[in-house]
Amino acid sequence: MFRKLQQRFRDMKTIKQLCEQAEQHARDSGQKEAGAEHLVLAALDLPDGTASAAFARLGVNGRQYKEAIVQQAADALQGIGVQVDSSALPGTQPLAATATGMLYQAQASAQSLMRALAAQNKPADVALLGAHILLAACSAQYGVAIRAMRAMGVEPTRLATAAQAEIQAASMVA
């Protein structure tokens, strides 16, 4: 019981870290609120390394995800006949950090990802990992996070399988 309680506190700390990092990634890309794609970037920053390892299982460098976010925007605009220099795309200019004193605010996609994360059947004594975030992100049908994965040549179902394998491998070590 005590170990499960300790793990919950560690998971809460991980969620706090994810949210703060996601907000920073959002600001760095010129957005006020974090989306699912920013939570994926934050998962790649986690020290457990499982999110990066899941991408690596597919032969892809997870650090390319940030560029893929910009690429999917360019692809979407090109799809409707608009040619834009990628440096001029919305969301490529950083915003200054502003303390609002408000509770954590996020885009609908990030809220949906967090609901999917909560719905995962993760045992209470298993640590929350970056791979869990990827698994939740891969459950979405639409959105920037999914389009960015596809822009990298990564099919979300394959990434979800790789994330599951990383979760399994990490639980064997623990």
Residue-level pLDDT at 113: 94
What pTM does this model have?
A: 0.86
CA 157 to each of CA 40, 121, 149: distance values in angstroms, whole numbers, following the listed order: 15, 18, 10
Residue-level pLDDT at 130: 97
Residue-level pLDDT at 94: 58
Rounded distance between C-alpha atoms, residue 38 and residue 137, angstroms: 10
Residue-level pLDDT at 101: 46
| Residue range 2-94+105-173, CATH number | 1.10.1780.10
Domain coordinates in residue numbering, the chain: 2-94+105-173
DSSP 141: S
What are 44-89's pLDDT values in tens digits? 999 999 999 999 999 999 989 999 998 887 777 777 777 766 555 5
> Strands, E, within 9-139: which ranges?
none
Residue-level pLDDT at 38: 96
CA 149 to each of CA 27, 89, 145: distance values in angstroms, whole numbers, following the listed order: 21, 19, 6
CA 34 to each of CA 10, 19, 20, 42, 107: distance values in angstroms, whole numbers, following the listed order: 22, 8, 9, 10, 6
Low-confidence ranges of the chain (pLDDT < 70): 1, 84-104, 174
